Amino acid sequence: MPYLESLKVFVRVVELGSITSGGRDLRLTPAVASNRIKELERRLDVRLFNRTTRKLTPTEAGRSFYDHARVIVENLEHAEAVIAGFAGSPRGVIQAAAPLGVGKRVVAPLVPQFVDSYPDISIRLRLSDRKVDLVDDRLDVALMVGTPPDSTLTLRKIADCPRVLCATPDYLAKHGVPETPRDLAGDGHNCLLLRYPRSPEYFWTLQTRDGPVKIEPSGSYDSDDGDVLTAWALDHRGIVNKPVFDVADELRRGSLVEVLPQTPPVDAIFGCLYPHRRLQDPKIRLFIDFMIEHCRFKVRALQDGIPLDRPARR
C-alpha cells in the first residue's frame, strides 16, 4: 500500500508541477510528499524529476513512468469505487467543479446536504469561471452554464438558463439606451466582459428575427470572475451579460434593468458534465442525481423569487 500511495503522489506532482501542489491536493504536507517521491526513486533506482530552485520537471524516465502510473492509479480508484458499490456503502472523494456564480449560490449550499446523506463521501469543490478540463484537472464532474462543449463527455441537462443584458438606470441615463446589437460593438457603450484564455465571451450571441447574430462587444472592463462583472454593473460601469437567475433579485428591485429585450442573448444550458465511465462509480452517480434534482429547483427559485428554504420538488 505505501508503494501505491507513492504512485498517487507522483502522478499528482507531475500533473500539478510541484511537490507542494501535489501534496496539498492529496492532503499531505510538502515534507511527506517529498519523502514519497524519494522513496519511489530509491525503489526504482532512477531519478524521476529534474530539480532546480525554481522548477520541477519530469525526466525522460519520469515521463515514461507517469504514462503507466496514471493508468494504474485510475484503474485502482475505479476498482475501489465499484467494490464500494457492491458493499452498499459508497465512499471516497469526489472532485467537482462549478462556475463561481452558480457555484456559490446553487451548488455549494447543497454539498453539506449531500455529505449528511452520505458521510463516507468527501467533496472537493473547485469554483472558477475559467474553462476547466475534466481530464487534465482530474475532475469527476463539472457543473457548467453555457454552450455544451463538443467532446466525448456526457452532458445531463439540469435546466435552461435564459440570459439577459442589463445595466443600471444611471448608466443608461448617462450613456443612452442601445437600440440595436450593433450599438454594443462601437465606442458608445462599455460592455463588461468575462474574459480569460479561450473564453467564449469574446463574442456575444443575440437572438434576432433573422436568427442568432454574433457580435464582438467593446468595453474597458473585463474579468475572469462573473461576480466582479455584476459588481461593476451595479457601480454604473457598463452593460453585463448574465444568466437571469444570477441577477434576478437586482432586476426585481430595479437596480439593474434589461437592455435590448427584443434581441436577448441566446439561452445557456445549466448542466452536469462527466466522463461516461465515471457513471459506473456509485458515488458519482449519486452525486450527479442529487445535484440535478436539487439544482433544478434552486435555479427556478432564484429566477422566480421563490424562498430557497422550501423543499425541492420531486
Do 92-160+269-304 and 163-266 fold alike per CATH? yes
Contact yes or no for 153/225 (Cβ under 8 A) = no
Which of 197, 200, 194, 196 is closest to 219 using CA atoms? 194
- Domain boundaries in the chain? 2-86, 92-160+269-304, 163-266
Contact yes or no for 166/258 (Cβ under 8 A) = yes
Cβ neighbours of residue 270 under 8 Å, at least 6 residues apart? 102, 143, 144, 145, 157, 158, 159, 160, 161, 243, 295, 299
Which residue matches cell numbers 441615463? 173
Measured distance CA(73)–CA(7) in Å, rounded: 7
Measured distance CA(114)–CA(30) in Å, rounded: 31
Query: CB-based burial of residue 182 (10 Å sphere; 0-12 exposed, 13-18 middle, 19+ buried)?
Result: exposed
Q: What is the 3-state secondary structure of 109-133? A: HHHHHHHHHCCCEEEEEEECCCCCC
Measured distance CA(275)–CA(78) in Å, rounded: 13
Select 92-160+269-304's CATH number: 3.40.50.720, 3.40.50.1110, 3.40.50.620, 3.40.190.10.
Answer: 3.40.190.10
Cβ neighbours of residue 42 under 8 Å, at least 6 residues apart? none
Q: Nearest 5°: phi and psi at 210? A: -95, 10
Overall pTM surpassing 0.75 (yes/no): no
* pLDDT string in tens for the chain (314-residue length): 688 889 889 988 898 888 988 888 788 888 999 999 999 999 999 999 988 777 889 999 999 999 999 888 878 877 776 676 665 678 888 999 999 888 998 999 999 999 999 998 999 999 988 888 887 778 899 999 988 776 778 889 998 889 999 999 999 999 999 999 989 987 779 999 988 766 655 789 999 988 999 998 988 899 988 899 999 999 999 999 999 989 999 999 999 999 999 999 999 899 999 887 766 688 888 999 999 999 988 888 888 776 544 444 43
What CATH class has 2-86?
mainly alpha
Q: What CATH architecture does domain 163-266 belong to?
A: 3-Layer(aba) Sandwich (3.40)
